[in-house]
């Protein structure tokens, strides 16, 4: 089913959730200034799915149209449609839409549970399919949580058990888990949170090799929001002062599992090292590929902002600045091209079509460099004013408003307020949490480089050289 933005928000309003912002427990979380932007961004996924057919494929599982991000990809075309959807979402919201790791979790739990059942004669896949049917039918917004807090990295997980989500009790009804996941983008605004392991584990560490889903009725789940300057700005209000005032920054939280009971129906991997590895590999490749398309969308937003800024300043004809826009376009298209390339040269994994592992990881590495370069170009184009401008409150102040109005004006085709909106939007891009989010979301570039080094078929490249040189 494809629901509307209002359906989603209404459903969300019915949840009881333990959410903390800046040390305070939030009552009406749907209206909280630090949470609402994430809800708006997710709501936009419903809007866009309703507008464009290709973002609402027909699911044979539930015999109806479902959201592209709750869908199990079968073909390259499926994957490409998802990437196009994400690029457009990123461009139009200028931020995370939060459902991406949910899609990655679905596309990696599907093959993992199927392979697991075949190996161990279990019924994880059926349980997963049943849950997925519910997700698709109700058009749930899903997120995915991986990163454990880890604590002292010089210790192995068993020496720091609390720092890794793990099973504390087990009964016929289900399991009780404890631990915390950090860097959880939008978890508090979703219907379902998939919880996946943070890394692969060694023999003897099986207790951490678990995957399950959390729903709003689960007791003991606590969401503690991030606390950056952007959040403080949102709390202060204003009509456009926070820059990306509608959709906000990349809104993340720490999710604490304080002895949370999970019924077996929502446990999809239980203490199995091989399934853990299968799951992580699938999730990583799916997420890193999507991340490249997503970054292209962010860059598109920055290109749009840069172009508007040039116009607002009367600089749109300066060749050296237009060249900088051209460079930004090149980087955006490169990131997108890599994502599409990965999708085109993907592989089948127990019925799911996944992107090419090497190209997806390349997308991560190039994407991070590119995001940084695009931000730098935007910063060069914009000048210093995104971090030095007065606020909208100054513009509206009766004593000095007229002076601010006068001195912030430029190209008369833009009102001062319009120009200030663009400035604040660029401030958002250059000082928000997006750069760090882009670097570390889906794993660091360093992790991808290790992947690339291990997974590449170096041997065939060596053989080519040997053949050319007549070696051996």
The footprint of a second copy on residues 111-150 (CB under 8 A) is 147, 149-150
Question: Which stretch, 50-58, 168-176, 207-215, 361-369, contacts a second copy (CB under 8 A)?
Answer: 361-369
With CB under 8 A as the contact rule, the residue among 12, 163, 196, 374 that binds a second copy is 163
Q: Any idea which residue has 């392979």 for tokens?
A: 115
Taking the complex as a whole, how short is the minimal distance between the CB of residue 30 and a second copy, in angstroms? Answer: 21
φ, ψ dihedrals at 18, nearest 5°: -95, 100
With CB under 8 A as the contact rule, the residue among 34, 113, 143, 252 that binds a second copy is 252
Closer residue to a second copy (CB): 196 or 225: 225
Closer residue to a second copy (CB): 25 or 119: 25
377: contact with a second copy by CB under 8 A: no
Closer residue to a second copy (CB): 353 or 451: 451
Query: For the window 254-273, what string marks contact with a second copy as x by the rule CB under 8 A?
Result: x-x-x---------------
Q: Is 260 helix (H, G, I), strand (E, B) or coil?
A: strand
Closer residue to a second copy (CB): 47 or 207: 47
With CB under 8 A as the contact rule, the residue among 78, 104, 300, 349 that binds a second copy is 300
Task: Give the interface size with a second copy as a residue count (CB under 8 A).
Answer: 165
325: contact with a second copy by CB under 8 A: yes
Closer residue to a second copy (CB): 66 or 404: 404
436: contact with a second copy by CB under 8 A: yes
**In three state form, how does the secondary structure of the chain look?**
CCCCHHHHHHHHHCCCCEEEECCEECCCHHHCCCCHHHHHHHHHHHHHHHHCHHHCCEECCCCEECCHHHCCCCCHHHHHHHHHHHHHHHHHHCCCCCCHHHHHHHHHHHHHHHHHHHHHCCCHHHHHHHHHHHHHHHCCCEEEECCECCCCCCCCHHHHHHHCCEEEEECCCEEEEEEEEEEEECHHHCCEEEECCCCCCCCCCHHHCEEEEECCCCCCEEEEECCCHHHHHHHHCCCCCCCCCCCCCCCEEEEEEEEEEEEHHHEEEECCHHHHHHHHHHHHHHHHHHHHHHHHHHHHHHHHHHHHHHHHHCCCCCHHHHHHHHHHHHHHHHHHHHHHHHHHCCEEECCEEECCHHHHHHHHHHHHHHHHHHHHHHHHHHCCHHHCCCCHHHHHCCCCHHHHHHHHCCCCCCCHHHHHHHHHHHHHHHHCCHHHHHHHCCCCHHHHHHHHHHHCCHHHHHHHHHHHHCCC
With CB under 8 A as the contact rule, the residue among 27, 121, 152, 217 that binds a second copy is 152
Closer residue to a second copy (CB): 173 or 229: 229
287: contact with a second copy by CB under 8 A: no
Residues 329-358 that bind a second copy (CB under 8 A): 329-334, 336-345, 356, 358
Question: Which stretch, 64-72, 118-126, 191-199, 321-329, contacts a second copy (CB under 8 A)?
Answer: 321-329
Closer residue to a second copy (CB): 185 or 276: 185
Taking the complex as a whole, how short is the minimal distance between the CB of residue 283 and a second copy, in angstroms? Answer: 17
Contact 26, 32 (CB under 8 A): yes
47: contact with a second copy by CB under 8 A: no
Query: For the window 438-457, what string marks contact with a second copy as x by the rule CB under 8 A?
Result: -xxx--xxx-xxxxxxx-x-
Say how many Å lie between the first and final Cα of the chain, rounded.
61
Residues 210-249 that bind a second copy (CB under 8 A): 222, 224-233, 235-236, 240-242, 244-247
Closer residue to a second copy (CB): 109 or 163: 163
Taking the complex as a whole, how short is the minimal distance between the CB of residue 12 and a second copy, in angstroms? Answer: 22
With CB under 8 A as the contact rule, the residue among 4, 64, 122, 391 that binds a second copy is 391
Q: Any idea which residue has 């060749």 for tokens?
A: 319
Contact 44, 89 (CB under 8 A): yes
Taking the complex as a whole, how short is the minimal distance between the CB of residue 61 and a second copy, in angstroms? Answer: 27
Question: Which stretch, 19-27, 103-111, 191-199, 260-268, contacts a second copy (CB under 8 A)?
Answer: 19-27
Residues 175-194 that bind a second copy (CB under 8 A): 179-180, 182-184
Taking the complex as a whole, how short is the minimal distance between the CB of residue 243 and a second copy, in angstroms? Answer: 9
Taking the complex as a whole, how short is the minimal distance between the CB of residue 268 and a second copy, in angstroms? Answer: 24
281: contact with a second copy by CB under 8 A: no
Give how far Cα 135 sits from Cα of 1, 13, 107, 196, Å. Answer: 9, 18, 13, 17
With CB under 8 A as the contact rule, the residue among 50, 129, 151, 161 that binds a second copy is 151
Kindly state the greatest CA–CA separation across the chain.
84
Closer residue to a second copy (CB): 216 or 304: 304
Question: What is the spatial order of strands in the sheet that 252-263 belongs to?
Answer: 24-25, 18-21, 221-225, 252-263, 174-185, 166-170
Taking the complex as a whole, how short is the minimal distance between the CB of residue 286 and a second copy, in angstroms? Answer: 15
406: contact with a second copy by CB under 8 A: yes
């Amino acid at each position: 089913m494809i629901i509307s933005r209002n359906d989603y928000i209404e459903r969300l309003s019915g949840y009881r959730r333990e959410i903390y912002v800046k040390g305070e427990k939030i009552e009406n979380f749907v209206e909280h200034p630090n949470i609402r932007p994430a809800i708006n961004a997710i709501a936009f996924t419903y809007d866009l799915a309703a507008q464009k057919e290709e973002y609402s494929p027909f699911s044979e599982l539930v015999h109806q149209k479902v959201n592209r991000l709750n869908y199990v990809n079968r073909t390259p075309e499926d994957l490409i449609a998802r990437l196009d959807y994400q690029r457009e979402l990123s461009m139009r919201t200028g931020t995370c839409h939060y459902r991406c790791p949910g899609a990655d979790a679905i596309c990696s739990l599907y093959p993992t549970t199927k392979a697991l059942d075949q190996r161990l004669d279990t019924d994880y896949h059926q349980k997963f399919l049943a849950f997925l049917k519910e997700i698709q039918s109700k058009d749930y917004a899903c997120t995915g949580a991986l990163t454990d807090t880890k604590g002292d990295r010089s210790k192995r997980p068993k020496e720091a058990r609390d720092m890794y989500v793990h099973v504390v009790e087990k009964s016929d009804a289900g399991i009780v888990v404890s631990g915390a996941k950090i860097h959880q983008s939008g978890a508090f605004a979703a219907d379902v949170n998939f919880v996946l392991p943070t890394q692969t584990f060694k023999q003897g560490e099986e207790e951490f090799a678990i995957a399950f889903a959390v729903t709003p009725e689960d007791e003991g789940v606590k969401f503690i929001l991030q606390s950056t300057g952007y959040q403080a700005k949102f709390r202060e209000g204003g009509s456009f002062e926070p820059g990306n005032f509608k959709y906000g920054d990349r809104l993340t939280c720490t999710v604490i599992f304080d002895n949370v009971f999970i019924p077996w129906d929502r446990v999809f991997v239980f203490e199995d090292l091989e399934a853990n590895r299968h799951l992580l590999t699938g999730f990583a490749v799916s997420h890193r590929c999507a991340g490249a398309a997503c970054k292209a969308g962010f860059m598109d937003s920055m290109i749009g902002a840069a172009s508007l800024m040039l116009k607002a300043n009367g600089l749109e004809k300066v060749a050296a600045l237009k060249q900088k826009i051209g460079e930004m376009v090149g980087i955006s298209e490169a990131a997108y091209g890599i994502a599409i390339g990965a999708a085109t040269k993907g592989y089948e994994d127990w019925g799911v079509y996944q992107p090419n592992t090497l190209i997806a990881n390349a997308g991560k590495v190039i994407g991070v460099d590119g995001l940084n370069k695009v931000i730098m170009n935007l910063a060069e184009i914009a000048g210093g004013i995104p971090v030095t401008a007065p606020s909208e409150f100054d513009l509206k102040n009766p004593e000095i408003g007229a002076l601010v109005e006068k001195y912030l004006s430029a190209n008369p085709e833009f009102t001062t307020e319009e120009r200030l909106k663009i400035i604040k939007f660029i401030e958002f891009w250059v000082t928000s949490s997006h750069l760090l989010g882009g670097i570390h979301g889906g794993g660091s570039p360093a992790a991808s480089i290790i992947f690339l080094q291990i997974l590449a078929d170096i041997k065939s490249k060596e053989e080519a050289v040997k053949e050319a040189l007549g070696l051996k």
